[in-house]
């Protein structure tokens, strides 16, 4: 077996292991009474419905059009408030709506960032695993003690200084 074939076989084996684990666990949130319960793993939803909603909300809110829509809504709210004479309930509704939207957006942002961090971590782990000279212990650095992380940071800063010459 040549050196070129070994990584391809290793990647194929890891993919098979992941597929096997996914099949064993099944969907995290199966839809009861739906065809998804009996569907093959390839046709099951990859994320829960709540994850899809939060990602759609995050994608929509990151667009420039979302800012324009919100700005138009605030302008319309102000115009109607001026016409209505800004009654007390007007301010209460505004605070309630903005607080509710803020809480929802905090969860959407937290969810999408958490998922992206997990994906990025898996990609970095794979890069470490693929490099023969890399320290494989770094793959588990997120569970290391504070002292270990400080020591790793010190090592990395020493490496950077020596690279600068």
How does pLDDT run along the chain (165 residues), one tens digit per residue?
444 445 556 667 767 777 777 777 765 544 444 444 444 444 445 678 888 898 888 888 889 999 999 999 999 999 999 999 989 988 899 899 999 999 999 999 999 999 899 999 999 988 888 888 888 778 888 888 888 888 888 888 877 888 886
Residue found under tokens 């009996």: 38
∠ CA 93-97-102, nearest 5°, is 150
Tokens of 72: 């138009």
Within the chain, residue ranges assigned H as helices are: 5-25, 49-61, 64-84, 88-130, 146-164
Tokens of 22: 């996914």
Tokens of 124: 């970095």
Contact 57, 104 (CB under 8 A): yes
């Amino acid at each position: 077996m040549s050196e070129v074939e070994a990584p391809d076989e290793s990647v194929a084996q890891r993919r098979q292991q992941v597929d096997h684990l996914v099949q064993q666990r099944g969907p995290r949130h199966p839809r009861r009474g739906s065809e998804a319960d009996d569907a093959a793993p390839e046709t099951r939803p990859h994320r829960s419905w709540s994850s899809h909603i939060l990602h759609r909300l995050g994608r929509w809110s990151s667009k420039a059009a979302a800012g324009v829509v919100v700005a138009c809504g605030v302008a319309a709210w102000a115009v109607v408030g001026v016409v209505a004479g800004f009654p007390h309930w007007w301010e209460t509704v505004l605070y309630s709506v903005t607080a509710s939207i803020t809480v929802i957006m905090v969860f959407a942002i937290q969810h999408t960032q958490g998922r992206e961090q997990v994906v990025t971590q898996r990609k970095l782990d794979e890069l470490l695993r693929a490099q023969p000279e890399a320290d494989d212990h770094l793959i588990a650095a997120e569970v290391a003690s504070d002292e270990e992380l400080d020591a790793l940071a010190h090592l990395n800063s020493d490496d950077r200084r020596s690279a600068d010459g």
